[in-house]
Amino acid sequence: MKDLVWDRSLSVDVPEIDEDHRRLVDLFNLLNHAVAEGGAQDYIEAVMEELISCTAWHFKHEERLMLKYGYEGLLEHKAEHDELIASATALQQKLLHESKPVLSDDIEFLEHWLTGHILGLDMDLGAYLCEAM
């Protein structure tokens, strides 16, 4: 098990978005530790719910900024947001309704999901917002 570490490489240079991302990294690490340490299933489910809820809120936050500043990549970015939430929700449903434990593969999926989005479309958005704000 390794923690995600917030560092300069994950910064999009927009403080309010970086603050959201730091919170998501912290929640990911809580989930990662809970799974690795064999935490109680109800605790793991609660952390997963918080991670998904905070991610959904964060995505709405980004989308509001995209609308406010006329970001042309809004539709593509929102489509990825929708896909990421659907994937995370499907994993959550697997845990809740099929009583399956979170596996290391699930944690790896969530790590790639989080970092891939930040290092991809969010970097483009950050560059745009730095100019527009």
**16-35 tens-digit pLDDT:** 999 999 999 999 999 999 98
99 exposure class (CB count in 10 Å sphere: 0-12, 13-18, 19+): exposed
Instruction: Kindly report the average pLDDT of the chain as a whole number.
Output: 92
pTM for the full model?
Answer: 0.91
Buried b (16+ CB within 10 A) or exposed e, 11-31: bbebeebbebbebbbebbbbb
